[in-house]
Copies of this chain bind each other. A is one copy, B any other.
Amino acid sequence: MNDIITLNHGSGGKITHDLISGLFLKHFKNEKLNNLSDATVIEISSGQISFTTDGYVVEPIFFPGGNIGKLAVCGTVNDLAVSGAIPKYLSVSFIIEEGLSLKELEEIVKSMAAEAKFAGVEIVTGDTKVVNKGKCDKLFITTSGIGFIKKEFADIGIGSKVRNGDKIILNGTLGDHSIAILSSRESLKFETSIQSDCASLNHLIQKALDICPDISFMRDATRGGLGTVACELASKINLGIYLNEETIPVKESVQGICELFGFDPLFLANEGKLMMVVPPEKSDKILKILQSDKYGKEAAIIGEVTNENKSKVVINTISGGKRLLDMPAGAQLPRIC
């Protein structure tokens, strides 16, 4: 019975303490977490911070290219980074189903620690709850994050700096994460070499901000995909967004599966992709710096901001037509993040 999570692991008693020190502290080890108080005190040198939260309920919890833990760290790191912040501190809340194997939990915790190390963030506070078998689906994780943000970047996630003529850049292929998840579902398993693109993009973003501090807008294209990010941005600005489908990178294998299932890659979730809106005179320079990074090799300019079709997204399709892009009502795929 020692190799699975029991309700007692969430009791707050000795068994909880053993789990915290034997597993979480062991891998997340840092001075702040070691205090084990319910709140962690953090020194703030800059005058502004960025604050974010996300729940992760991906099914299955292990998938090609990652697991729910890596996903949670990357997702929160990316939410901070696209807001213009330097991600610094994460909190982690685990909701665990009774019966989860400790081995699986440790593998997840290890990959969270590794991803946090890569991203340069510390996991400084956390919580663990256990619910009875059948009352959650193995493991849900909610991560919150704090980053330091310079005053000049405070509007980068909002869209108020977007101007007519700005170029739209995407850092790589769409849909990989969704298709990787789909391929690993019990009910539907199929053979594919597609891996989730799950990655912390903060170092990539930092490189771009270093050479071009006047990036107009950034947003990671997660749930809802690139299409939703574009539609949301358009709805907030008094300008139009034009996308050129031909230039949008999609893997052939992903495109094939999308055709089979009737998915539109524009609206599939990604976990390592972001849309950047940049002043036109800087676009080539930014493109080059993105392409020089592991997570931006296939970066491309995929469209621009226009004075036409205000608050709308128009896409020039590969077949030669034009269509208005509209946010879908519901999901193509539930529980992909």
Contact A91 to B51, CB < 8 A, known contacts A131-B57, A131-B335: yes
Copies of this chain assembled into the complex: 2
* A220 to B327 Cα, complex, angstroms: 45
Nearest CB on B from A79, distance (A):
4
B44 touches A49 (CB 8 A): yes
In A71-90, the 8 Å CB interface with B consists of 79-80, 82-83, 85, 89
Q: Across the interface, which residues of B come within 8 angstroms of A172, CB to CB?
A: none
Question: How far is A8 from B94 in the complex, measured between Cα atoms in Å?
Answer: 24
Q: How many residues of A contact B (CB 8 A)?
A: 85
Report whether B93 and A142 are in contact in the complex, using a CB–CB cutoff of 8 Å: yes
Closest to A135 in B: B137
A192 at the A/B interface (Cβ < 8 Å)? no
Q: Is the CB of B39 within 8 A of A52?
A: yes
User: Do A334 and B38 have beta carbons less than 8 Å apart?
Assistant: no
Q: Which residues of B contact A17 (CB under 8 A)?
A: 327
A134 CB–B CB distance under 8 Å: yes
Contacts of A85 in B (CB 8 A): 39, 41
Q: Given contacts A55-B128, A57-B131, could you give 4 more A-B pairs where the C-beta distance is less than 8 Å?
A: A14-B329, A39-B157, A44-B46, A57-B129
